[in-house]
């Protein structure tokens, strides 16, 4: 029997119940790095760090601000995330749920793992706005509760506590935010043939058949991550800069060579943001490409895509059905991934596909209903 760490995360913010060990249906074991083994005390410490607003320049923003458990660990319905002083960036906040399975973090994959990812929002000027990590270290070294926790978990105190321990703790907590056991899982992996309704069953056939969704949102024999952990240009955002893409790419590469911070550039400059994976790899094959997101709990995390530009699942399906454009006849971008082409689904098939996507919600999040999508106020 497969055993793995999973979250029994409910809508409570406490980490007191985050130490269950039963494997959720439909998911593989969580990959745990050898240099950062899990422990209940470390997970609890990571939970506290994740929710601490003192780690922002205003004292009002924490990791949980943009990744709220009550919103399936996103900031839905915001189009793009809102940080300190109500500043908004260029990227939609992806859910933390099942992020432990991603091979790369962030929409463009600029972080190799959860540990590295956790350090960047603190010092991004439009997210948490700190000049550097020093204020965080001052707090965790002097705060009595933190001092006790870091001593217990890492056997370190005072100046011995570094960002390495902070990052490892947050990542350990995030690896418990795991969610499976959806209606689809009960149908496909649990052999409950009544778990899906007729529309969802028809939608599943579209998903694996004419819709070709399964090509990137992978379902395997004994598990389903609903991602291929790759990066694709699906026609979202890149059209905004298509005419200027070569010039922008050249300017960005020059700035990058001169020391420009990629993490800050892609969240501050809308045009730079649309370069996608290219901003990380410098490869033109990655122009406008973004990570294949998981589809689990997708019904709870509107709006969609890296820029939050598609408000509903209906719009998402329409975009794919039209071959990478919202309106039929619009120009397809020059860098579109080869697998993106018109699907020729009829209205019933598209409605059924949306119904299937709604069957991917886990019970603990299925009651979370996204509000009407909006753009955060600046």
* 84 contacts 127 by C-beta, under 8 angstroms: yes
Domain with CATH 1.10.760.10 in the chain: 40-174, 183-233+292-361
Band of the pLDDT at 20, cuts 50, 70, 90? Answer: very low
Band of the pLDDT at 368, cuts 50, 70, 90? Answer: low
Distance CA 92, CA 97 (A): 15
Element (H, E) at 84: none
User: How do residues 154-168 score in pLDDT, each as one tens digit?
Assistant: 999 999 999 999 999
Residue 16, pLDDT above cutoff 70: no
Distance CA 152, CA 131 (A): 29
Distance CA 278, CA 312 (A): 27
CATH domain 183-233+292-361 topology: Cytochrome Bc1 Complex; Chain D, domain 2 (1.10.760)
User: How do residues 64-84 score in pLDDT, each as one tens digit?
Assistant: 999 999 999 999 999 999 999
- Which superfamily is assigned to 40-174 in CATH? Cytochrome c-like domain (1.10.760.10)
Q: How far is CA 285 from CA 251, 257, 320, 335, in A?
A: 17, 19, 20, 7
Say what the pTM is. Answer: 0.91
User: Closest by alpha carbon to 146, among 158, 135, 134?
Assistant: 158
User: How do residues 246-289 score in pLDDT, each as one tens digit?
Assistant: 999 999 999 999 999 998 899 889 999 999 999 999 999 999 99
The mean pLDDT value for 145-159 works out to 98
User: How do residues 84-124 score in pLDDT, each as one tens digit?
Assistant: 999 999 999 999 999 999 999 999 999 999 999 999 999 99
For CA atoms 317, 323, 326, 328, give the dihedral sign. negative
Looking at the chain, list the stretches that DSSP marks H as alpha helix, in order from N- to C-terminal side: 40-50, 63-66, 114-119, 134-142, 144-154, 163-174, 183-188, 198-208, 245-257, 262-268, 270-273, 278-281, 313-321, 347-357, 363-366
Give the pLDDT score at 126: 95
Contacts of 366 (CB under 8 A, 6+ apart): 182, 299, 300
């Amino acid at each position: 029997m497969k055993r793995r760490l999973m979250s029994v995360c409910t809508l409570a913010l406490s980490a007191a119940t985050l130490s269950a060990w039963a494997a959720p249906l439909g998911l593989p074991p969580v990959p745990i790095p050898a240099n950062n083994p899990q422990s209940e005390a470390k997970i609890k410490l990571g939970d506290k760090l994740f929710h601490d607003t003192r780690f922002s320049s205003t004292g009002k923003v924490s990791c949980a601000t943009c990744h709220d458990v009550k919103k399936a660990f996103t900031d839905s319905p915001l189009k793009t995330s809102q940080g300190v002083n109500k500043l908004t960036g260029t990227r939609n906040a992806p859910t933390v749920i099942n992020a432990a399975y991603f091979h790369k973090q962030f929409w463009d994959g600029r972080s190799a793992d959860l540990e590295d990812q956790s350090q960047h929002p603190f010092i991004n000027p439009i997210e948490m706005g700190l000049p550097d990590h020093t204020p965080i270290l001052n707090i965790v070294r002097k705060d009595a509760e933190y001092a006790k926790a870091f001593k217990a978990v890492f056997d370190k105190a005072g100046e011995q506590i570094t960002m390495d321990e902070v990052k490892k703790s947050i990542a350990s907590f995030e690896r418990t935010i795991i969610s499976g056991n959806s209606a689809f899982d009960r149908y496909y992996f649990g052999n409950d043939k009544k778990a899906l309704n007729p529309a969802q069953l028809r939608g599943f056939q579209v998903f694996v058949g004419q819709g070709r969704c399964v090509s990137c949102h992978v379902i395997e024999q004994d598990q389903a991550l609903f991602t291929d952990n790759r990066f694709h240009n699906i026609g979202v955002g890149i059209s905004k800069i298509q005419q200027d893409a070569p010039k922008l790419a050249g300017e960005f590469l020059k700035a990058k060579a001169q020391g420009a911070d990629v993490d800050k550039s892609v969240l501050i400059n809308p045009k730079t943001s649309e370069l996608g994976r290219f901003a990380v790899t410098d490869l033109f094959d990655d122009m406008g490409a973004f990570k294949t997101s998981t589809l689990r709990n997708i019904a709870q995390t509107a709006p969609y895509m890296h820029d939050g530009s598609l408000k509903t699942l209906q719009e998402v399906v329409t975009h794919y059905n039209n071959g990478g454009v919202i309106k039929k006849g619009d120009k397809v971008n020059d860098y579109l991934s080869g697998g993106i082409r018109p699907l020729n689904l009829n209205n019933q098939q598209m409605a059924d596909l949306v119904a299937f996507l709604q069957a991917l919600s886990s019970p603990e999040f299925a009651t979370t209903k996204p509000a009407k999508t909006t753009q955060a106020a600046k």
